[in-house]
Chains A and B, each alone.
Chain A
């Protein structure tokens, strides 16, 4: 309910960053989820994530910045105007969706904490509370779920912190109350239910990298030319469609983000 009031009741300005592709059905976006804290089946989070308590919520900010501290969700959201971003989402498992997010650019928030020159990367953590997330005892990953971005990736205008989708506050299974959306990277980079943001000097090790470094790299940019040993990455099944589509370089955001990686060998930095 708290979040409901945080979402202004108005039509969203159409963002230049939005795709005009048809959004995936709300029912599909909210019942087909990878959120291992609530089970490894894609239908499980929608059923089991009801135990997640999203209010009150706070986010701890630490590391190389001038304004560390623990901030309430209200503190975090207050100064930011929410906007709609319709983004493609490509999962490393070979499926994709189009999701109308509401949120604000991550960079705007990070600036408020005044990162120092030592801040080269941003590290994120998902809540890991066994009382709210009974599946944590399964130890399929090393909790808490951890992700990271290079500072310039985090400050990129496409990088979003989302609080809602389809003009509704985020449902728990989609990473309520605050989640990252990095549309040119495989979906698992877009960490859910964030409780910690740390400015760090060294490249953080993400949960999937830790679990299987050969298959999941730090960058995990969508790249149809770099195959995954488990799934072909040159094409994808858009949820709701019968035929497969060709996967686009950087998930179709090449024009906006390719310069971030100029001079890098994307086969090595997968």
Chain B
């Protein structure tokens, strides 16, 4: 299944871009209108984290879709969605550094060492960073084969990102939501393993 060509690049791609910005717009609107409840800082921190994770899973889903239903066009959205994952993860991290820690670097370092869910969250971001930096086409050309190897980092970093969410929630025995993300990730990674062993 493919969409007719000018439609895809002229309409679908910009539409996906606009939709991907919508969570940010809604967060901004929520802050402005004071609609985020009693703890708005917590609300935007959680929401940005949620969206980073969602875009990560969407990025992973595109190549599964290509293999499963033959939708090859989707791959052309992969860089954009991956960068949106990075974008929301950056907002998430910045909110933590600024509004949770107020740039108290000693406190942040202590947090990274002491709290496993912060440790894995930080690791996931550090692994996402080189993927964002090497996302331009020029970098792909320069790195050649190594680019592909580097970008397999998305697998471990996705696992760490889900683990970050899981460990944050399981302190209060509340893992029903991270479980959904874990199952989707397991399906996406499982599909890749299946393709590898089938061949």
Contacts and interface: CB of A to CB of B under 8 A. Distances in A.
Interface of A: 25, 27-28, 31-32, 34, 36, 40, 42-43, 93, 95, 138, 140-141, 211-212, 215, 227-232, 237, 239-240, 242-244
A43 B173 contact: no
Given A212-B173, A215-B171, A232 B111 contact: yes
B88 interface: no
Given A140-B174, A215-B171, A229 B39 contact: no
Interface of B: 37-39, 41-42, 99, 102, 107, 110-111, 114-117, 167-168, 171-174, 176
Given A230-B168, A232-B107, A211 B173 contact: yes
B116 A32 contact: no
Given A40-B174, A239-B39, 7 more contacts: A25-B38, A32-B38, A42-B38, A212-B171, A229-B115, A232-B115, A242-B99
The majority secondary structure among interface residues of chain A is loop
Contacts of A244: 102
Nearest to A215: B171
| Prevailing SS type, chain B contact patch | helix
Given A230-B168, A243-B102, A28 B116 contact: no
A103 to B, nearest CB: 22
A250 B99 CA distance: 25
Contacts of A232: 107, 110-111, 115
A138 B176 CA distance: 9
Contacts of B99: 242
Contacts of B110: 232
Contacts of B115: 229-232
Nearest to A244: B102
Contacts of A212: 171, 173
A237 B168 contact: no
A90 to B, nearest CB: 14
B107 to A, nearest CB: 7
Which of B39, B41, B116, B117 has the most A CB atoms < 10 Å from its CB? B39
B102 A28 contact: no
Nearest to A235: B107
B37 A31 contact: yes
Contacts of A239: 38-39
Contacts of A34: 172
A46 to B, nearest CB: 10
